[in-house]
Amino acid sequence: MPKKDNLINASINGATLEKIDQCLGAAFENHRVKSNGSNVGKVIISLGTNDLSTNKHDSDQVNVFATQAIVKVKQAFPNADIGVCGIIPRKGNSNHIHRVNETATNVNKFLEKLCLKDEVLTYIDVEHIFTKNGNVVKPLYEKTDTSGVHITIEGAQTIRVKLRDFLHPKLSQIQHTPRPGDTKRKLSDISLTPMSAEKDSKQTKPGSSDEYE
């Protein structure tokens, strides 16, 4: 990951996508960005499962909240490339967890399609790190966590690799269409994470995430 001075963590413990305004406020409060966010180069919206707990049967509702959050992030940081992290599954065999994971998969499919249609957006697929042959990879989850939400250090490191690839892609892998203002962009990054405490350093993540640390 980049130096801490370049990354803002704007996560709010236990928040949902409906709290995106608070996450944006935290980002501006915790980092000396211009009032219009024009000096932010990349933003990561990191979704967790808090939204799914209350909307476990309704992926459409979660999609609406996610779309609204993305629009607000784009308005707040007009020159930024935006990475949208998918939702990782929960570990467990209860009917509740199965419903949550099914909704998460549907939301992730929606987000991936949304990102393909917008050159500013990049979908960051973290869901498939934690699944194999349709089952969660249990060693990546905390054994004693009965909620099935919290992951191990190894699991967190795999996510860090994905985020790092978005924040600092290798030059040979960059497939980027220049946009107005690209040459003026400063590489200050933000991570907005409304859904939970995801403690990274200083680029920005709007979203939610109980499961990153």
- Per-residue pLDDT band at 55 (split at 50, 70, 90): low
Tokens matching residue 17: 């996508």
How far lies 63's CA from each of 15, 58, 83, 109, in Å?
Answer: 16, 9, 16, 10
Residue 208 has pLDDT above 70, yes or no: no
pLDDT score for 26 = 81
Separation of alpha carbons 29 and 6, rounded Å: 15
pLDDT score for 72 = 93
Task: Concatenate the DSSP letters of all residues of 115-141 into one string.
Answer: HHT-TTEEEE--GGGSEETTEE-GGGB
pLDDT score for 191 = 64
Sorted by where each begins, the domain ranges of the chain are 4-168
Lowest mean pLDDT among 15-24, 61-70, 194-203: 194-203
Residue 175 has pLDDT above 60, yes or no: no
Give the residue-averaged pLDDT of 88-115: 92
Residue 52 has pLDDT above 70, yes or no: yes
Separation of alpha carbons 188 and 79, rounded Å: 11
Residue 156's contacts (CB-CB under 8 Å, 6 or more residues apart) are: 212, 213
* pTM assigned to the model: 0.76
Give the residue-averaged pLDDT of 58-84: 92
CATH class name, domain 4-168: alpha beta
